[in-house]
């Protein structure tokens, strides 16, 4: 049925989608919801279908390009496009009509993203990263006007109280003015049971008996207010920090930014060996529905975040039962401005752990596509002897490329890859994904699963990544549920190829 419907669709004029989207952005530029024509196969790829048909001897390759630059960037990057192109710095000032005097009066705030630290010859080496900014004093009415831009078919006034709070929180966190050339100083001290940023226990971390000290970051913040630097910390005279080669525990320090009460974080001193879970968040730890833009927007802006099924229970069990050197790291490519909302959600439901989001210098579309790989490579290189469990879902094509690539590049470091097969449980996920990266990997080192319970009972430490009761039938190549393509694209006739492309186009218009 899907194919028949798709075949009936005439490929529309290239302007159709952008025109609709731009209506929604009267207040700020760039648009909050934008079909990026530059990355649309409707626009520059006028001859795209012809190209595929004439290149029929290499159809697989051509279809691969459908998942490359031809799709809207938010599908490719796994970042919803409403999380693309947030205004920063002067754009915020001018869109809000605020002047320097007003801003000077606002206090300086610091987003201090929970760091990890590795053990080196110089001692513990902590990766401090985050952003320095000011929050303009804008009225609630204005905040609501701004929030309304992100809402489809509803507005803040119509939301229930917790929806209003979510919309206002996230919107306020976007309309901030980043502060460049700032000198940042951190104070560290042992973290008791709960971290200074409200992080729960879990992740097996212990409280060292000392280690209090003040650290001055060696560089000023970038023009965009960011800092991201490894700094060795001292084993101060009370000798309270355990050396990385004499403990199997993750140690936990609180990090307070001097001069503000907003810059609290918990740092994790991670021993050189052991397991690190690296987990994406959208559609694996929380329900987002990135692939369904309207729902994705509502689930981000209009509703408090909710966990995906009983995933918190699975993580809680891992955190309780795995060896003490286990470390949890949350790595999402959501933009830095949304970090607090994501952290708040995670730390109320999942084990404590370090965090990564997309820094501001990765905001342009090309850089957006490489951010996950950049952040993953950084943590792999920081812990060359640790083994990693990579967790995410099939709806992000950067995950589908980067996770198996890491297993090829660092075969001794990837313990397991767990991917939620999103389209198996959510029929609204109509986007194709590409499994070719998994070809050649040990087929017992990864699992495509449907529900969190599929992850129960695995002996991960001893290398068990596969639940025997979850049948795996992975073919390598493009997977598309709409057309029933499972890596067999190379065998498609050109008319089937045509259907595939048209179905994609049709899907885009159905959901926009
Ligand atoms: C731990 O590492 C330090 C610094 O590299 C070294 O001096 C010390 O001998 C090591 N201790 C053990 C038990 O290996
Ligand atoms: C924010 O602006 C309002 C209205 O101009 C003013 O009443 C309030 O005191 C200001 N708040 C701060 C924290 O400056
Ligand atoms: C909104 O922000 C406040 C303070 O930053 C926080 O306590 C509250 O939990 C947030 N609410 C939501 C729904 O994120
Ligand atoms: C930050 O300020 C401290 C104390 O004033 C100074 O010693 C340090 O050099 C400054 N750091 C940078 C990167 O300018
Ligand atoms: C810190 O000093 C104590 C006492 O000298 C020592 O036992 C411990 O290994 C040192 N820790 C680090 C991180 O160097
Ligand atoms: C940060 O920590 C300080 C010191 O414990 C505390 O007073 C402050 O309320 C904390 N800030 C937040 C946002 O929790
Ligand atoms: C962003 O800055 C980091 C250093 O903080 C640098 O390593 C990275 O290459 C930069 N990325 C881009 C896309 O400019
Ligand atoms: C610690 O991390 C830094 C930064 O990623 C890396 O250059 C260094 O090699 C790591 N040290 C060890 C001993 O793994
Ligand atoms: C995902 O689930 C769908 C529907 O059950 C199935 O057709 C597809 O092959 C699965 N994908 C993978 C990679 O296992
Ligand atoms: C892994 O590959 C082997 C050899 O091709 C095959 O016999 C086995 O069924 C595969 N296992 C899974 C879980 O796909
Ligand atoms: C909890 O985790 C442990 C260790 O990974 C595993 O052996 C056990 O089966 C898990 N329990 C459940 C209910 O998943
Ligand atoms: C495995 O997938 C292929 C291709 O999609 C399909 O033809 C076959 O029936 C599937 N086998 C099982 C046991 O599900």
Contact 213, 188 (CB under 8 A): yes
| 7 in Cβ contact with 502 (< 8 Å) | yes
Hey, whose CA ends up nearest to atom 12 of ligand 1?
Answer: 245
Measured from the Cα of 484, ligand 12's closest atom is 5
* Pairwise CA distance, residues 80 & 90, whole Å: 24
Residue 425 within any structural domain of the chain: no
- In the predicted model, what is the mean pLDDT of residues 91-114? 92
Q: What gap in Å lies between CA 510 and CA 499, rounded to an integer?
A: 16
Query: Is position 51 within any domain?
Result: yes
- Mean pLDDT is highest, among 78-87, 284-293, 320-329, for 320-329
Question: What is the number of domains present in the chain?
Answer: 1
For residue 505, being part of any structural domain is answered with yes
In a domain, 128, yes or no: no
Atom 4, ligand 5: residue with shortest CA distance: 239
442 CB less than 6 Å from ligand 10? Answer: no
Dist CA 75 CA 480 (whole Å): 14
Let me know: does 445 contact 407? Beta carbons within 8 Å: yes
CB of 336 sitting under 6 A from ligand 7: no
Residue 7 lies in a domain: yes
Distance of CA 34 to the CA centre of its chain: 19
Ligand 8, atom nearest to 230 Cα = 4
In a domain, 10, yes or no: yes
Contact present, 257 and 368 (Cβ < 8 Å) = no
Number of the ligand 12 atom closest to the C-alpha atom of 473: 1
236 ligand 5 Cβ < 6 A: no
Q: Please give the model's pTM, rounded to 2 decimal places.
A: 0.86
Mean pLDDT of 154-163: 96
Q: Is the pLDDT of residue 457 over 60?
A: yes
Alpha carbons 320 and 318: distance in angstroms, whole number: 5
pLDDT digit string, tens, across residues 209-236: 999 999 999 999 999 999 999 999 998 8
CB proximity list for 119: less than 8 A, separation 6 or greater: 125, 243, 244, 245, 269, 270, 271, 272
Name the DSSP letter for residue 282: B
State the residue range of the domain holding 12. 2-82+488-511
Mean pLDDT value of segment 463-487: 86
Q: Does residue 435 sit within a domain? A: no
- Residue list, ligand 12 pocket, CB within 6 Å: 473, 475, 486
pLDDT at position 238 is 63
| Binding site membership of 243 for ligand 1 (Cβ less than 6 Å) | yes
Q: Whose CA is nearest to atom 13 of ligand 12?
A: 473
How deeply is 316 buried, as exposed, middle or buried, from its count of CB atoms within 10 A (0-12, 13-18, 19+)? middle
Q: How far is the CA of 424 from the centre of ligand 9 (A)?
A: 6
Lookup result for tokens 């490329």: 401
Candidate from 486, 489, 491 with most ligand 12 atoms within 8 A of CB, to mutate = 486
Per-residue model confidence as pLDDT tens digits over 6-60: 222 222 222 222 222 222 222 222 222 222 322 223 322 333 333 333 333 333 3
Nearest CA to ligand 6 atom 3: 261
pLDDT band at 291 (very low <50, low <70, confident <90, very high): confident
Ligand 3 within 6 A of CB of 166:
yes
Kindly state the average pLDDT of the residues 450-463: 97
Three-state secondary structure string covering 423-473:
HHHCCCCCCCEECHHHCCCCCCCEEEECCHHHHCCCCHHHCCCCCCCCCCC
Please report whether residue 32 resides in a domain: yes
């Amino acid at each position: 049925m899907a194919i028949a419907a798709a075949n009936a669709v005439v490929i529309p004029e290239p302007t159709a989608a952008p025109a609709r989207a731009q209506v929604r952005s009267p207040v700020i530029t760039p648009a909050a919801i934008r079909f990026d024509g530059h990355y649309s196969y409707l626009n520059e790829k006028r001859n795209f279908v012809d190209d595929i048909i004439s290149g029929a001897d290499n159809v697989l390759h051509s279809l691969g390009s459908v998942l490359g630059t031809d799709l809207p960037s938010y599908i490719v990057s796994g970042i919803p496009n409403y999380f693309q192109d947030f205004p920063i710095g002067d754009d915020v000032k001018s869109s809000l009509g605020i002047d320097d005097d007003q801003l000077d009066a606002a206090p300086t705030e610091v987003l201090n993203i929970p760091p990890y630290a590795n053990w080196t010859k110089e001692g513990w080496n902590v990766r401090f990263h985050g952003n320095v900014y000011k929050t303009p004093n804008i009225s609630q009415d204005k905040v609501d006007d701004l929030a309304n831009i992100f809402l489809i078919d509803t507005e803040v006034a119509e939301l229930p109280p917790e929806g209003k709070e979510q919309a206002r929180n996230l919107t306020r966190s976007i309309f901030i003015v980043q502060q460049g050339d700032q000198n940042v100083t951190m104070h560290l001290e042992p973290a008791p049971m709960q971290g200074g940023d409200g992080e729960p226990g879990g992740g097996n971390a212990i409280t060292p008996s000392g280690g209090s000290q003040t650290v001055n970051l060696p560089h000023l913040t970038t023009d965009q207010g960011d800092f991201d630097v490894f700094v060795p910390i001292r084993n101060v005279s009370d000798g309270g920090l355990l050396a990385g080669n004499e403990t199997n525990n993750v140690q936990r320090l609180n990090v307070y930014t001097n001069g503000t009460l907003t810059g609290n974080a918990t740092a994790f001193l991670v021993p050189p060996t052991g397991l690190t879970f690296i987990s994406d968040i959208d559609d694996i730890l929380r329900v987002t529905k990135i692939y369904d833009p309207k729902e994705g927007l509502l689930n981000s802006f209009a509703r408090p975040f909710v966990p995906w099924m009983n995933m918190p229970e699975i993580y809680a069990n891992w955190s309780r039962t795995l060896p003490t050197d286990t470390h949890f790291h949350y790595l999402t490519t959501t933009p830095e401005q949304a970090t607090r909302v994501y952290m708040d959600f995670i730390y109320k439901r999942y084990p404590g752990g370090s965090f990564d989001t997309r820094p501001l210098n990765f905001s342009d579309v090309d850089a957006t596509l490489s951010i996950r790989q950049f952040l993953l490579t950084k943590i792999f290189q920081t812990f060359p002897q640790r083994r990693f469990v990579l967790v995410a879902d099939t709806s992000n094509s950067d995950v589908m490329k980067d996770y198996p690539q890491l297993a090829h590049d660092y075969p001794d470091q990837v313990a397991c890859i767990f991917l939620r097969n999103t389209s198996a449980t959510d029929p609204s996920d109509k986007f194709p994904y590409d499994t070719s990266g998994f070809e050649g990997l040990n087929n017992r080192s990864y699992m495509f699963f449907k529900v969190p319970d599929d992850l129960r009972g695995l002996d991960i430490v001893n290398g068990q990544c596969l639940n025997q009761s979850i049948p795996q039938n992975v073919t390598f190549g493009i997977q598309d549920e709409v057309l029933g393509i499972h890596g067999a694209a190379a065998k498609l006739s050109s008319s089937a190829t045509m259907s595939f492309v048209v179905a994609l186009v049709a899907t885009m218009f159905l959901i926009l």
